[in-house]
Amino acid sequence: MENILEYSLHIYFFFPIAIMLLFGIWGNVLGGMVHVATSLTHLFITGLIIFLHKGHALKSVDLTIASFPDLNPGQLVLDGDGPIFIIMISLILLIVSLPRWDMDKRGERLFKVLTYFIVWILCGAVLANNMMGFLMFSEMLILPLAILMVVFCDKNLRNKILLYVVFLAIGTLLSVTSITYLTMVSTGELGVSSLGPEVLKNLITSNKVGSYSSAIIFICLCMSMFIKMTVFPFHFPLLQLCKRMPTFCNILILSSLPLVAVVGMIKLIVPAFTNEMAGASMSIAIVGVLGCLYCTLCALRWNDIKEVVIYFIFGHLSLLMVSIFLYESNTVGGTYIVIFNHLIHVAGMLYVVHVLQDRMKKITFESYGNMKARMPLFNRLFFILIILCLGPPMSSGFISRYMVTIDAVRMNLVVGLFVAACFAICPIYLLRYFQMIMLVKNKITVDDASINDVSAREGFILIMLIILVLTVGIYPNIIAGILG
């Protein structure tokens, strides 16, 4: 059984690279169904690994390079919370491969290559068992995302793209500087060594690193992760880009970067900096509430259907940041379900914007109205998705909010009240959003005959996302079962 698991992990890790080369060489003759089939195959391999992994903690895929012994990111390990993260990676791949995006053949080929490159990087970051391996993969993620933005965004956004890449590079510099300092303290040599969570924890708690130095390192590493997570107030460089970039770019950036940041926080920072995490929880909760308030006010003010969704996503990321700082190792915690909800909300709400823009070619609320009569099936699916974003009972949003609030109250009553208020305020604008698009009778300048209801593919994608949210909401123990 362990041999089968080892082979499956090798296939899982190298499968995205193989498909990337496949589309890179023969992308012009391979249709969209091949992309869907490969993403389903990746999901099947993930399911097989989850099935075989139960009861095993296996080291696999040795990355040691014999010719370069100093460059040793160690081995990729599937244990602990690794299985839940590889499921999320497969879901990201499936979500971006199912729709038909508006691009030419050359752009479609490059999009597929970059998508599988991003998936491979995410796999490496999730399975890395030390800081060297995680940094190598997580910082590599900047390259395909930068190419994606440069190729598919308008040319007049190049300066904003450069600014955002520089902002990400600052986060990289903070991480590398912190780990370099810890390496010098640990080994006495200048460089980046393979520091695992236990080594980091022992190093931080020892007399070699003082309390002041450990606090500075903790702040630098957290800021690096927050920049990737694009939480308030680090979301401004990406905000203007998100408003004007294509939907598939939005989905890949707003799902992959936060996922990498959560992996880094939970697997490496949380275990090593327990005292600093406890001391910062109150401050982070307040910042998270302020971020949600800010995003709510901005969403109520703007008259752009995409901009409202972008602010909703940034508000949800603030809640994700709060949940990480309330993470408790003796419970499953709400963090895993919060990041799962984030991926579904990013995909669902942005895909709704894509469906509407594909028909109306406009993004302001004045261009919409009474879409309920013109798109009855879409109206029902859109309403269900909006309600699920509010976090009602029997939805994954309700489970995550309940668990995060309970953890907050256990830690500090004031923090719990802040988090509860944050959950109550965040979705205020979503019902107004649905009302302005689907119910208000505005004058529509587009010919009604050109406004078709959702196709079978579009309906299937929305129904799949709804089922995922309901499944985790009705049977939340599925997350606990995967985590063991």
Q: Domain-by-domain residue ranges, the chain?
A: 279-484
Mean pLDDT of 54-83: 50
pLDDT of residue 79: 63
- Asked if 216 contacts 286 with a C-beta cutoff of 8 angstroms, the reply is no
pLDDT of residue 53: 62
Of residues 334 and 456, more confidently modeled: 456
Give mean pLDDT, residues 334-362. 82
Give residue 273's pLDDT. Answer: 80
What per-residue confidence (pLDDT) applies to 132?
A: 74
- Could you give the CA distance from residue 208 to residue 206 in angstroms, rounded to a whole number? 5
In degrees rounded to 5, what are phi and psi of residue 78? Answer: -110, 95
Summary mean pLDDT of the chain: 78
Of 15-19, 23-27, 291-295, the one with minimum mean pLDDT is 23-27
Residue 330 is given by DSSP the state T
pLDDT per residue as tens digits for the range 238-266: 887 887 888 888 899 999 999 898 888 88
Q: How far apart are CA 19 and CA 27, in angstroms?
A: 10
Count other C-beta atoms under 10 Å from residue 165's C-beta: 17
Section 25-31 average pLDDT: 63
What mean pLDDT is predicted for residues 440-449? 57
Angstrom CA distances, 108 to 57, 148, 327, 351, stand at 38, 11, 40, 18
**What percentage of residues in the chain have a pLDDT greater than 70?**
81
Q: Model confidence at 444, in pLDDT bands (50, 70, 90)?
A: low
> What is d(CA 52, CA 5) in angstroms, rounded to the nearest whole number?
6
DSSP state of 442: P
Tokens describing residue 140: 């590599």
SS3 content of the chain, % helix, strand, coil (to 5): 75, 0, 20
Question: Average of pLDDT values for 178-182?
Answer: 80
With CA atoms as reference, report the closest residue to 469 among 406, 379, 394, 367.
Answer: 394
CB atoms within 10 A of CB 330: 5
Kindly tell me if the per-residue pLDDT of 381 is higher than 80. yes
- Token pair 């390496």 is found at 183
* 98, pLDDT greater than 80: yes
Please give the helix or strand (H or E) that residue 59 lies within, else none: strand 58-62
Looking at residue 431, its pLDDT comes to 82
Q: Is the pLDDT of residue 331 over 50?
A: no
Higher local confidence (pLDDT), 23 or 457: 457
> Residue 188's pLDDT band (boundaries 50, 70, 90)?
low
Report yes or no: 171 and 230 within 8 Å, Cβ to Cβ: no
Nearest Cα residue to 71 out of 157, 135, 146, 154:
135
Return the residue matching tokens 């986060």.
171
pLDDT band at 145 (very low <50, low <70, confident <90, very high): very high
Q: What is the mean pLDDT of residues 151-163?
A: 87
Segment 392-399 shows an average pLDDT of 81
Q: Looking at residues 377-402, what average pLDDT do you find? A: 84
- 415 with 281: CB under 8 angstroms? yes
Confidence of residue 134 (pLDDT cuts 50, 70, 90): confident
What is the pLDDT confidence band of residue 440, given thresholds at 50, 70 and 90? confident
pLDDT one-digit tens code per residue, 198-218: 667 777 767 677 777 888 888
Neighbour count for residue 211 (Cβ, 10 Å): 10
What average pLDDT does the segment 35-47 reach? Answer: 80
